[in-house]
Structure 1
Amino acid sequence: MNTQLTELLRRLRNLIRIGVITQVDTTRGMCRVMTGNLETDWLHWLTSRAGSSRTWWAPSIDEQVLLLSLGGDLTTAFILPAIFSDEFPAPSASPEAVCIAFPDGAVMEYEPQTSTLTVTGIKTAMITASASVHVTAPEITCVAGNQITLDTPTVICTHHLTTGSLEVRKNGTMRGNIVHVGGEFSSNGVVVDSHRHHGVRSGDSTSGVPIS
């Protein structure tokens, strides 16, 4: 009777335990956990989705987790991430924000109090779509330290375009009225709006070539 009671108490204590990750096998999606003086065998961790839609976020070494043991048997336990600890404290103190902090220093956060989505600390961002990408806002600012490349057969600007300078390297066509104000308008070394010609005569004579 005492043996049965001892076993029952042991299983009750093992139903829910706190531990820290000691090893991670990302190929199998399994971890080992140190709980008290005991290190578990390889166990699966729980994820938010594992069907036709799946999520992947492997626990990290020394991350604090819960062990949920079926019937109190640690060999059948599942790992439930995660619990903040002194080593890995909460990345935000906002009561409403969703914040993800990565080990390389990158942070993704949405703060409802200011309706602001921020992504910082990343090196590269890639979006690949098979049909289209739409970005809509009253004002959009793109800042590049070196250059912005538009690699496409056609670039369409439907309204006014303001540019600090412009260089056209291949063929092009201008349609409609063009107004030039200030500065010089030069074509092949000839200032169009102020150049002169040789051999100008009255009547139906043809003037000479422009004087550059």
Structure 2
Amino acid sequence: MQTHNFTATYQEGIVSAVDINTHKVRCKIPALDDLETAWLHYPVPNAGGNQFYCLPDVGELVALLLDARGEGGCVLGAIYNQQDPVPVANGEMFMLKFKNGTTISHNRATGDVVIDAVGTVLIKSPSLITLDCPDTKTTGNLLVEGSLTYMQGMTGNGGKGGATAVINGTLKTKGGDITADDISLKNHVHTEQGDGNDTSSAK
């Protein structure tokens, strides 16, 4: 005698409610006269030591797996549709696109990784962050709140409508020299112009 009904049904539903504390959703099923489901699990890749948290929006189209009575089940995943089309049409792309416009993408063909954020980006570590590449480029202003140490010299070009470099405070050099227009600070000379006259410009 069969005591359990192991049959299940596939349905497509529209998210009607989201529980941010349990990571569950309720859905209305258009094919069943907008019947609303019970709270269904929204599965994630990991929920133990490693955890993942990402809930769908209300109104999102999802695939459902329901038990025989339609009371229990889970969401299999979201479905692209006319209201929510694919964010990119490229078989080489991996992309995360958020509602606010932020995207994280990787192009397998080019190897490029792009993080395009609409807000502040914070990378935080209690010890060390290493950028291991031949060249690093920043297109805007750069503020260093701690000490700046460089090992292979420093090169700069003229500023926009101002000095190339402005330093407020003491400047010290040890074992080297400061040169301006080929004139050495330590080794420049002045030519005497006669008693009572100013010396010549530095040479």
> Normalising by the residue count of structure 1, what TM-score does the alignment of the two structures yield?
0.75
Is the CA contact 1:110–1:116 (under 8 Å) kept in the aligned structure 2?
A: yes
Given the alignment of the two structures, is residue 63 of structure 1 paired with residue 48 of structure 2, yes or no?
no
- Could you list the runs of 5+ residues in structure 2 that have no partner in the other structure? 158-163
Equivalent residue for 2:89? 93
Q: Which amino acid aligns with 1:124?
A: T
Higher helix share: 1
Is the CA contact 1:184–1:193 (under 8 Å) kept in the aligned structure 2?
A: no
Equivalent residue for 2:148? 155
Equivalent residue for 2:177? 178
What is the alpha-carbon distance in structure 1 between the residues aligned to residue 106 and residue 149 of structure 2? 33
Equivalent residue for 2:134? 138
Q: How many residues align?
A: 187
Given the alignment of the two structures, is residue 167 of structure 1 paired with residue 144 of structure 2, yes or no?
no
- Taking only aligned residues, the RMSD between alpha carbons, in angstroms, comes to 3.1
- In structure 2, relative to structure 1, the CA distance for the partners of 1:121 and 1:132 (3 Å cut) is closer
Residue 19 (structure 2) aligned to one of 25, 30, 45: 25
> Normalising by the residue count of structure 2, what TM-score does the alignment of the two structures yield?
0.78
Per the TM alignment, residue 209 of structure 1 is displaced from its structure 2 partner at its CA by 10
- In structure 2, relative to structure 1, the CA distance for the partners of 1:69 and 1:174 (3 Å cut) is same
What is the alpha-carbon distance in structure 2 between the residues aligned to residue 159 and residue 120 of structure 1? 31
Is the CA contact 2:93–2:106 (under 8 Å) kept in the aligned structure 1?
A: yes
Q: Which amino acid aligns with 1:168?
A: I
| Greater Rg by CA | 1
- In structure 2, relative to structure 1, the CA distance for the partners of 1:42 and 1:122 (3 Å cut) is same
- Could you list the runs of 5+ residues in structure 1 that have no partner in the other structure? 1-7, 187-191, 201-207
Per the TM alignment, residue 160 of structure 1 is displaced from its structure 2 partner at its CA by 1.9
Equivalent residue for 1:110? 106
Instruction: Provide, for residues 23-69 of structure 1, a one-character-per-residue CA deviation record: whole Å limited to 9, x for no partner.
Output: 11213322111112211122221111111111001111221212122
